[in-house]
């Protein structure tokens, strides 16, 4: 049996105890295309299969051991445990050149977390019965290509052979051509977060960095922030200019573009240079006006477009955002500069604009100044301008150049 290390190969992963015929067909198509292939059984029934890597070997990577995965009466709990074990296995595997899986909702939930654990750029293809619906929970911030199976992944027929074969050939094309993708000028990559109401600032910064850096701009819609941090964790981004932290407001208040509790976690783990700010914390995002939860009916709203409604945040909420951010900044061991724009945090938080609220801005600033532990490498910087002014953008640039 192959272990966590081994010769480079593409992984064909799934429940070989129930989908062995279909997964073996995928493996055969990959082999015929010239791809070195290794099969992985994720079945929880305990039935022996022909897979190169047995379910017992994967299950052993669960924090509580194989017994937490195999031989359980509750299939749902067993599948969840196997998914956790497989993700842990993949995080320690250095042989995977690409991964493909196929299955129904259960098989998709088994394979997707492990695919998300692979670095961005490693080919990932997932054939699924649920791929024609909302795939966000499966794809997350990663570059997983999902293909709708059309028929159920249950035996081979004239349709499934074509769909599974196409998926295998798609992965083969990715794996076999990985070395031919040009790397560009190999400038150091820096991640930037942007929203519509912080565009002027971030565009100024990105344009100024382009000559010496590879600026990667991420739309702060929840997934955007997670994608940026995924690249930091993967070692593909060496610094962050996190101007737009609005996803934290949506997470804490209940908007539609929320961060997760791991927001800023990649920076904490990696210690990369970090310049941050409070961009668009003046708002929580909802869908169309009629979708706003009834408990917020008395609040101030701004209709950004027919599909996006912005709700002005209160001083009390801003105090809460700042406390959460401060706690995360205090965990960072790398160089940190966190900028406070004294003239407002977005294009609509400026004198004469609908969300201008000096009291809310003061709540943000006061809590940050009281809670952030300032050190030689971690500093707060107050800028007497709105976030979208050239002066603020230049201050952010200067801060990044100082610490990177």
Mean pLDDT computed over 135-139? 93
Q: How far is Cα 314 from Cα 168, in angstroms, rounded to an integer?
A: 52
pLDDT the model gives residue 93: 94
CATH code: domain 9-180 is: 3.40.50.12020
Read off the pTM.
0.80
d(CA 270, CA 239): 10
Domain boundaries, the chain: 9-180, 189-403
pLDDT(189) > 60: yes
Proportion of the chain above pLDDT 70, given as a percent: 98
Predicted confidence at residue 4, as pLDDT, reads 66
pLDDT above 90: residue 383 = yes
pLDDT of residue 74: 86
Alpha-carbon distance of 113 to 116, in angstroms, equals 5
Res. 2: pLDDT tops 50: no
- The tens digit of pLDDT for each residue in 54-109 reads 999 999 999 999 999 998 888 889 999 999 999 999 999 999 999 999 999 989 99
* Phi, psi for residue 190 in degrees, rounded to 5: -130, 135
Nearest-angstrom CA–CA distance, 14 and 12: 7
% of the chain exceeding 90 in pLDDT: 90
pLDDT confidence bin for 6, thresholds 50/70/90:
confident
Please name the fold of domain 189-403: Rossmann fold (3.40.50)
Mean pLDDT of the chain: 95
Residue 1 has pLDDT above 70, yes or no: no
Query: DSSP assignment of 115-162, as one string?
Result: HHHSPTTS-EEEEETTTTS--HHHHTTS--EEEE-SS-SSS--HHHHH
What pLDDT does 71 receive?
Answer: 80
- The predicted model gives 206-228 an average pLDDT of 95
* Tens-digit pLDDT profile for residues 152-185: 998 899 999 999 999 999 999 999 999 888 776 6
Two domains, one topology: 9-180 and 189-403: yes
Q: Which H or E element spans position 325?
A: helix 315-329
Residue 289 has pLDDT above 80, yes or no: yes
Per the structure block, which two tokens stand in for 178?
């990985």
pLDDT at 180: 86
């Amino acid at each position: 049996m192959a272990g966590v290390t081994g010769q480079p190969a593409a992984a064909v992963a799934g429940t070989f105890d129930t989908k062995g015929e279909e997964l073996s067909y995928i493996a055969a198509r990959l082999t015929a295309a010239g791809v070195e292939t290794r099969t992985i059984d994720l079945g929880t029934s305990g039935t022996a299969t022909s897979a190169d890597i047995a379910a017992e070997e994967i299950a052993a990577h669960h924090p509580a051991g194989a017994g937490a995965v195999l031989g359980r009466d509750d299939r749902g709990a067993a599948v969840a445990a196997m998914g956790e074990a497989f993700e842990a296995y993949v995080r320690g595997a250095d042989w995977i050149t690409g991964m493909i899986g196929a299955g129904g909702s259960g098989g998709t939930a088994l394979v997707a977390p492990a695919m998300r654990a692979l670095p961005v750029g490693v080919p990932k293809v997932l054939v699924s019965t649920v791929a024609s619906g909302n795939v966000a929970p499966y794809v997350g911030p990663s570059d997983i290509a999902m293909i709708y199976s059309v028929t159920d992944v249950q035996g081979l027929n004239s349709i499934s052979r074509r769909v599974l074969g196409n998926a295998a050939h798609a992965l083969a094309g990715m794996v076999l051509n990985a070395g031919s993708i040009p790397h560009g000028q190999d400038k150091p990559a820096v991640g930037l977060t942007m929203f519509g109401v912080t565009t002027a600032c971030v565009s100024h910064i990105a344009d100024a960095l382009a000559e010496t850096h590879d600026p990667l701009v991420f739309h702060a819609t929840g997934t955007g922030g997670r994608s940026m941090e995924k690249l930091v964790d993967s070692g593909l981004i060496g610094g962050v200019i996190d101007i737009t932290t609005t996803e934290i407001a949506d997470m804490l208040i209940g908007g539609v573009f929320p961060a997760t509790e791991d927001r800023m976690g990649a920076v904490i783990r990696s210690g990369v240079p970090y310049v941050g700010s409070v961009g668009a914390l003046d708002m929580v995002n909802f869908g169309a006006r009629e979708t706003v939860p009834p408990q917020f009916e008395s609040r101030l709203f701004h209709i950004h477009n027919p599909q996006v409604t912005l709700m002005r945040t209160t001083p009390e909420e801003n105090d809460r955002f700042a406390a959460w951010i401060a706690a995360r900044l205090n965990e960072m061991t790398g160089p940190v500069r966190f900028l406070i724009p004294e003239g407002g945090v977005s294009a609509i938080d400026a004198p004469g604009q609908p969300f201008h609220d000096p009291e809310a801005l003061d709540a943000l600033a006061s809590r940050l100044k009281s809670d952030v532990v300032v050190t030689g490498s971690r500093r707060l910087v107050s800028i007497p301008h709105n976030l979208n002014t050239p002066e603020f953008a230049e201050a952010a640039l200067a801060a990044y150049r100082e610490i990177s």
